[in-house]
Amino acid sequence: MGRGGRFIATALIIGFSLAQTSARAAERLPPPGITIPDTDRQELSAGVAALRKDIHALAEELNAKSRFLELLPDIEIFHKSVEWALRYDEFFDARQVAFAKTLLQQGSERAQQLRAGQTPWLEATGLVVRGYRSKLDGSVQPYGLVIPATWKGTDAKTSRLLVWLAGRNEKRTELAFLDERESSPGQFTPADTIALHPYGRFCNATKFAGEVDVFEAMDAVRAHYPIDSSQRVASGNASCRALVRCVSRSRFCRDRTLCEDFCRWQRAAAVVGAKALALV
Protein backbone atom coordinates (compact mmCIF):
# COMPACT_ATOMS: atom_id res chain seq x y z
CA MET A 1 0.00 0.00 0.00
CA GLY A 2 1.44 3.35 -0.99
CA ARG A 3 1.84 6.36 1.28
CA GLY A 4 -1.42 7.91 0.03
CA GLY A 5 -3.33 4.68 0.66
CA ARG A 6 -1.97 4.37 4.20
CA PHE A 7 -2.97 7.96 4.90
CA ILE A 8 -6.54 7.35 3.71
CA ALA A 9 -6.81 4.14 5.71
CA THR A 10 -5.53 5.83 8.84
CA ALA A 11 -7.97 8.72 8.39
CA LEU A 12 -10.87 6.28 7.98
CA ILE A 13 -9.92 4.37 11.14
CA ILE A 14 -9.62 7.57 13.17
CA GLY A 15 -12.92 8.86 11.80
CA PHE A 16 -14.67 5.58 12.64
CA SER A 17 -13.24 5.63 16.17
CA LEU A 18 -14.41 9.17 16.75
CA ALA A 19 -17.86 8.33 15.47
CA GLN A 20 -18.10 5.53 18.06
CA THR A 21 -17.17 7.89 20.90
CA SER A 22 -20.22 9.59 22.36
CA ALA A 23 -19.82 13.28 23.15
CA ARG A 24 -20.01 14.11 26.85
CA ALA A 25 -23.02 16.22 27.70
CA ALA A 26 -22.18 19.79 28.55
CA GLU A 27 -22.50 20.68 32.22
CA ARG A 28 -25.37 23.00 32.95
CA LEU A 29 -24.57 26.25 34.72
CA PRO A 30 -26.19 27.15 36.96
CA PRO A 31 -27.15 23.60 37.95
CA PRO A 32 -30.81 22.57 38.15
CA GLY A 33 -32.60 23.89 41.21
CA ILE A 34 -35.00 22.26 43.63
CA THR A 35 -38.63 21.51 42.90
CA ILE A 36 -40.81 24.13 44.55
CA PRO A 37 -44.43 23.50 45.64
CA ASP A 38 -47.08 24.10 42.96
CA THR A 39 -48.85 26.60 45.19
CA ASP A 40 -45.68 28.71 45.46
CA ARG A 41 -45.05 28.46 41.73
CA GLN A 42 -48.58 29.59 40.95
CA GLU A 43 -48.38 32.49 43.41
CA LEU A 44 -45.02 33.64 42.04
CA SER A 45 -46.17 33.27 38.44
CA ALA A 46 -49.22 35.41 39.14
CA GLY A 47 -47.03 38.02 40.85
CA VAL A 48 -44.60 38.08 37.93
CA ALA A 49 -47.46 38.56 35.44
CA ALA A 50 -48.98 41.37 37.52
CA LEU A 51 -45.66 43.18 37.85
CA ARG A 52 -44.94 42.83 34.14
CA LYS A 53 -48.36 44.32 33.36
CA ASP A 54 -47.63 47.21 35.73
CA ILE A 55 -44.23 47.81 34.09
CA HIS A 56 -45.79 47.92 30.61
CA ALA A 57 -48.41 50.38 31.82
CA LEU A 58 -45.74 52.56 33.44
CA ALA A 59 -43.71 52.60 30.23
CA GLU A 60 -46.69 54.06 28.38
CA GLU A 61 -47.62 56.50 31.14
CA LEU A 62 -44.07 57.81 31.49
CA ASN A 63 -43.34 57.98 27.78
CA ALA A 64 -43.18 61.80 27.88
CA LYS A 65 -41.28 61.89 31.18
CA SER A 66 -37.81 60.67 30.26
CA ARG A 67 -36.39 61.38 33.73
CA PHE A 68 -38.75 58.83 35.25
CA LEU A 69 -38.80 56.47 32.26
CA GLU A 70 -35.06 55.86 32.57
CA LEU A 71 -35.70 54.55 36.10
CA LEU A 72 -37.83 51.62 34.92
CA PRO A 73 -34.87 49.20 35.16
CA ASP A 74 -34.89 49.87 38.92
CA ILE A 75 -38.25 48.06 38.88
CA GLU A 76 -37.60 45.55 36.10
CA ILE A 77 -34.74 43.90 38.01
CA PHE A 78 -37.26 42.49 40.50
CA HIS A 79 -39.48 41.08 37.77
CA LYS A 80 -36.63 39.58 35.76
CA SER A 81 -34.92 37.89 38.70
CA VAL A 82 -38.07 36.02 39.74
CA GLU A 83 -39.32 35.34 36.20
CA TRP A 84 -36.00 33.75 35.21
CA ALA A 85 -35.82 31.69 38.41
CA LEU A 86 -39.24 30.27 37.53
CA ARG A 87 -38.51 29.81 33.84
CA TYR A 88 -35.20 28.00 34.31
CA ASP A 89 -35.92 26.24 37.65
CA GLU A 90 -33.21 28.16 39.51
CA PHE A 91 -34.42 28.07 43.11
CA PHE A 92 -31.68 26.41 45.13
CA ASP A 93 -33.25 26.40 48.60
CA ALA A 94 -36.68 26.98 50.10
CA ARG A 95 -35.65 30.36 51.53
CA GLN A 96 -35.23 31.75 48.02
CA VAL A 97 -38.93 31.13 47.35
CA ALA A 98 -39.91 33.44 50.21
CA PHE A 99 -37.32 35.99 49.10
CA ALA A 100 -38.73 35.94 45.56
CA LYS A 101 -42.12 36.97 46.95
CA THR A 102 -40.40 39.84 48.76
CA LEU A 103 -38.76 40.97 45.53
CA LEU A 104 -42.10 41.09 43.73
CA GLN A 105 -43.49 43.20 46.56
CA GLN A 106 -40.53 45.57 46.33
CA GLY A 107 -41.03 45.87 42.58
CA SER A 108 -44.70 46.67 43.04
CA GLU A 109 -43.92 49.30 45.68
CA ARG A 110 -41.36 51.02 43.47
CA ALA A 111 -43.84 50.98 40.57
CA GLN A 112 -46.44 52.72 42.73
CA GLN A 113 -43.88 55.28 43.88
CA LEU A 114 -42.65 56.00 40.37
CA ARG A 115 -46.22 56.40 39.13
CA ALA A 116 -46.71 59.03 41.82
CA GLY A 117 -43.52 60.82 40.80
CA GLN A 118 -41.64 59.65 43.90
CA THR A 119 -38.21 58.04 43.88
CA PRO A 120 -37.20 57.47 47.52
CA TRP A 121 -34.62 54.81 46.64
CA LEU A 122 -32.55 57.53 44.94
CA GLU A 123 -32.13 59.24 48.31
CA ALA A 124 -31.69 56.04 50.33
CA THR A 125 -28.53 55.14 52.23
CA GLY A 126 -27.28 51.71 53.19
CA LEU A 127 -27.98 48.76 50.89
CA VAL A 128 -29.68 49.78 47.63
CA VAL A 129 -30.34 47.57 44.60
CA ARG A 130 -30.79 49.19 41.22
CA GLY A 131 -30.70 48.38 37.51
CA TYR A 132 -29.77 49.76 34.12
CA ARG A 133 -30.51 48.88 30.50
CA SER A 134 -27.40 47.60 28.74
CA LYS A 135 -26.28 49.16 25.48
CA LEU A 136 -24.79 45.78 24.61
CA ASP A 137 -28.06 43.93 24.07
CA GLY A 138 -30.86 46.00 25.60
CA SER A 139 -31.20 43.71 28.60
CA VAL A 140 -31.85 44.91 32.14
CA GLN A 141 -28.92 44.25 34.49
CA PRO A 142 -28.92 44.61 38.29
CA TYR A 143 -26.26 46.12 40.49
CA GLY A 144 -25.93 46.68 44.21
CA LEU A 145 -24.84 49.78 46.07
CA VAL A 146 -23.70 50.53 49.60
CA ILE A 147 -24.44 54.21 50.19
CA PRO A 148 -22.72 55.72 53.27
CA ALA A 149 -24.99 57.01 56.03
CA THR A 150 -23.33 60.42 55.70
CA TRP A 151 -24.51 60.80 52.12
CA LYS A 152 -26.93 63.74 51.71
CA GLY A 153 -28.72 62.97 48.47
CA THR A 154 -28.59 65.57 45.74
CA ASP A 155 -26.87 67.99 48.12
CA ALA A 156 -24.04 65.57 48.82
CA LYS A 157 -20.43 66.31 48.00
CA THR A 158 -18.65 64.08 45.50
CA SER A 159 -17.82 60.60 46.76
CA ARG A 160 -15.14 58.06 46.01
CA LEU A 161 -16.38 55.01 44.09
CA LEU A 162 -15.30 51.53 45.16
CA VAL A 163 -16.03 48.78 42.62
CA TRP A 164 -16.12 45.33 44.22
CA LEU A 165 -15.76 42.29 41.94
CA ALA A 166 -17.31 39.19 43.52
CA GLY A 167 -15.68 35.78 43.47
CA ARG A 168 -16.86 32.70 41.60
CA ASN A 169 -20.31 31.33 42.42
CA GLU A 170 -22.07 29.02 39.98
CA LYS A 171 -25.40 29.52 41.76
CA ARG A 172 -25.32 33.31 41.77
CA THR A 173 -28.40 33.89 39.63
CA GLU A 174 -29.89 37.38 39.53
CA LEU A 175 -32.27 36.37 42.31
CA ALA A 176 -29.36 35.12 44.44
CA PHE A 177 -27.37 38.25 43.64
CA LEU A 178 -30.19 40.53 44.83
CA ASP A 179 -30.45 38.43 47.98
CA GLU A 180 -26.74 39.02 48.65
CA ARG A 181 -26.97 42.71 47.93
CA GLU A 182 -29.95 43.23 50.25
CA SER A 183 -28.49 41.27 53.15
CA SER A 184 -24.83 42.25 53.45
CA PRO A 185 -22.70 45.34 52.69
CA GLY A 186 -19.76 43.14 51.78
CA GLN A 187 -16.25 42.78 53.12
CA PHE A 188 -15.02 46.31 52.58
CA THR A 189 -16.99 49.52 53.18
CA PRO A 190 -14.67 52.54 53.47
CA ALA A 191 -16.01 55.73 55.01
CA ASP A 192 -17.47 58.36 52.71
CA THR A 193 -17.34 55.93 49.80
CA ILE A 194 -20.08 54.58 47.54
CA ALA A 195 -19.48 50.88 46.98
CA LEU A 196 -20.67 49.38 43.69
CA HIS A 197 -21.23 45.63 43.37
CA PRO A 198 -21.75 44.79 39.67
CA TYR A 199 -23.56 41.56 38.86
CA GLY A 200 -21.14 40.77 36.05
CA ARG A 201 -23.68 38.74 34.07
CA PHE A 202 -23.35 35.56 36.10
CA CYS A 203 -20.18 33.53 36.59
CA ASN A 204 -17.70 34.52 33.86
CA ALA A 205 -14.65 35.88 35.73
CA THR A 206 -15.70 39.43 34.79
CA LYS A 207 -14.81 38.86 31.15
CA PHE A 208 -16.54 39.58 27.85
CA ALA A 209 -20.11 40.73 28.66
CA GLY A 210 -19.18 40.60 32.35
CA GLU A 211 -16.44 43.14 31.77
CA VAL A 212 -18.84 45.39 29.87
CA ASP A 213 -21.26 45.11 32.78
CA VAL A 214 -18.70 46.57 35.20
CA PHE A 215 -18.21 49.73 33.17
CA GLU A 216 -21.87 50.12 32.27
CA ALA A 217 -22.79 49.82 35.95
CA MET A 218 -20.19 52.46 36.75
CA ASP A 219 -21.72 54.76 34.14
CA ALA A 220 -25.17 54.18 35.67
CA VAL A 221 -23.88 55.14 39.11
CA ARG A 222 -22.18 58.27 37.80
CA ALA A 223 -25.43 59.31 36.14
CA HIS A 224 -27.28 59.41 39.47
CA TYR A 225 -24.64 60.03 42.13
CA PRO A 226 -21.92 62.69 42.45
CA ILE A 227 -18.78 60.60 41.96
CA ASP A 228 -15.27 61.99 42.19
CA SER A 229 -13.76 60.88 38.87
CA SER A 230 -10.27 61.00 40.38
CA GLN A 231 -11.19 58.46 43.07
CA ARG A 232 -12.12 55.15 41.39
CA VAL A 233 -11.01 52.04 43.25
CA ALA A 234 -11.24 48.43 42.10
CA SER A 235 -11.16 45.55 44.55
CA GLY A 236 -12.63 42.13 45.22
CA ASN A 237 -12.18 38.39 45.31
CA ALA A 238 -12.47 37.86 41.56
CA SER A 239 -9.34 39.88 40.87
CA CYS A 240 -7.04 38.47 43.55
CA ARG A 241 -4.36 36.47 41.76
CA ALA A 242 -4.83 38.08 38.37
CA LEU A 243 -4.48 41.55 39.84
CA VAL A 244 -1.21 40.75 41.59
CA ARG A 245 0.18 39.30 38.36
CA CYS A 246 -1.10 42.30 36.50
CA VAL A 247 1.60 44.51 37.95
CA SER A 248 4.30 42.71 36.01
CA ARG A 249 2.07 42.21 32.95
CA SER A 250 3.12 38.56 32.94
CA ARG A 251 1.75 36.01 30.50
CA PHE A 252 -0.43 34.63 33.31
CA CYS A 253 -2.45 37.82 33.58
CA ARG A 254 -6.05 37.14 32.65
CA ASP A 255 -8.10 39.82 34.36
CA ARG A 256 -8.66 42.21 31.46
CA THR A 257 -10.96 44.41 33.49
CA LEU A 258 -8.02 45.54 35.60
CA CYS A 259 -5.10 44.94 33.25
CA GLU A 260 -6.11 46.17 29.83
CA ASP A 261 -8.15 48.97 31.42
CA PHE A 262 -5.70 49.70 34.22
CA CYS A 263 -5.51 53.38 33.31
CA ARG A 264 -9.17 53.79 34.29
CA TRP A 265 -8.45 53.03 37.94
CA GLN A 266 -6.79 55.24 40.51
CA ARG A 267 -6.31 52.41 43.01
CA ALA A 268 -6.80 48.68 43.09
CA ALA A 269 -6.73 46.10 45.86
CA ALA A 270 -6.57 42.34 45.70
CA VAL A 271 -8.20 40.63 48.66
CA VAL A 272 -6.74 37.25 49.59
CA GLY A 273 -8.48 35.76 52.59
CA ALA A 274 -8.23 38.29 55.40
CA LYS A 275 -5.35 40.19 53.78
CA ALA A 276 -5.42 42.94 51.18
CA LEU A 277 -2.76 44.18 48.81
CA ALA A 278 -3.20 47.85 47.97
CA LEU A 279 -1.85 49.22 44.71
CA VAL A 280 -1.65 52.98 44.31
Residue 131: inside a domain: no
Residue 110: inside a domain: yes
CA angle 21, 25, 27 (to 5 degrees): 145
Containing structural domain, residue 60: 28-122
> What pairing do the DSSP bridges indicate for beta strands 275-279 and 267-272?
antiparallel
Residue 239: inside a domain: no
pLDDT tens across the length of the chain (280 residues) = 555 554 454 555 555 555 555 556 667 888 999 999 999 999 999 999 999 999 999 999 998 788 899 999 999 999 999 999 999 999 999 999 999 999 999 999 999 999 999 999 999 999 999 999 999 999 999 999 999 998 887 666 888 999 998 878 899 999 999 999 999 999 888 888 999 999 999 988 788 899 999 999 999 999 999 998 765 556 555 443 333 333 323 233 334 455 545 445 555 555 544 333 333 2
Residue 58: inside a domain: yes
Sign of CA dihedral 178, 222, 230, 253: positive
Asked whether 136 and 209 are in contact (CB, 8 A), the reply is yes
Residue 259: inside a domain: no
Domain count, the chain: 1
- Rounded to two decimals, the pTM is 0.80
Residue 169: inside a domain: no
Asked whether 164 and 177 are in contact (CB, 8 A), the reply is no
Residue 193: inside a domain: no
Cis, bond preceding 190 (omega within 30 deg of 0): no
Residue 242: inside a domain: no
